[in-house]
């Protein structure tokens, strides 16, 4: 079959602009740009210190080296970390959906 599939009335399916946006590089690129930008702003604002504290706690804990839930929850009091985490999850979702 060549071209888009057509229905019985001759109406052919064509990708909508939303599908093009979701499958193309534009949305992923914008999310990646937001991710990197917020990551830079978070580091400049000193938001990396709580993240490093969580990582140090993981390294110092006994196997299986799990983070403290309260320390991870405290990370999300910082709006920069919350936006970075949201962009990170959105990028993973789009990567897996492609």
pLDDT tens-digit profile of 32-44? 898 899 889 888 9
pLDDT tens-digit profile of 25-72? 888 888 889 889 988 988 898 888 888 889 898 988 888 888 888 988
Q: Under a CB-based contact definition with an 8 Å cutoff, are residues 19 and 27 in contact?
A: no
Q: Indicate whether 35 belongs to any domain.
A: yes
Q: Indicate whether 57 belongs to any domain.
A: yes
Residue range(s) defining the domain that contains residue 75:
27-97
Q: Indicate whether 60 belongs to any domain.
A: yes
**Which burial class, exposed, middle or buried, applies to 62 when counting CB atoms under 10 A from its CB (0-12, 13-18, 19+)?**
exposed
Q: Indicate whether 18 belongs to any domain.
A: no
Say what the pTM is.
Answer: 0.62
């Amino acid at each position: 079959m060549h071209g888009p599939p057509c229905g019985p009335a001759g109406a052919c399916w064509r990708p909508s602009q939303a599908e093009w946006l979701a499958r193309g590089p534009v949305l992923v690129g914008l999310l990646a740009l937001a991710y990197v930008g917020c990551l830079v702003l978070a580091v400049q604002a000193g938001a990396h210190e709580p993240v490093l504290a969580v990582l140090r706690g993981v390294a110092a804990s006994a196997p299986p080296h799990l983070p403290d839930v309260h320390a991870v929850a405290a990370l999300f009091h910082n709006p920069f970390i919350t936006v970075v985490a949201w962009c990170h999850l959105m990028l993973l979702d789009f990567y897996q959906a492609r």
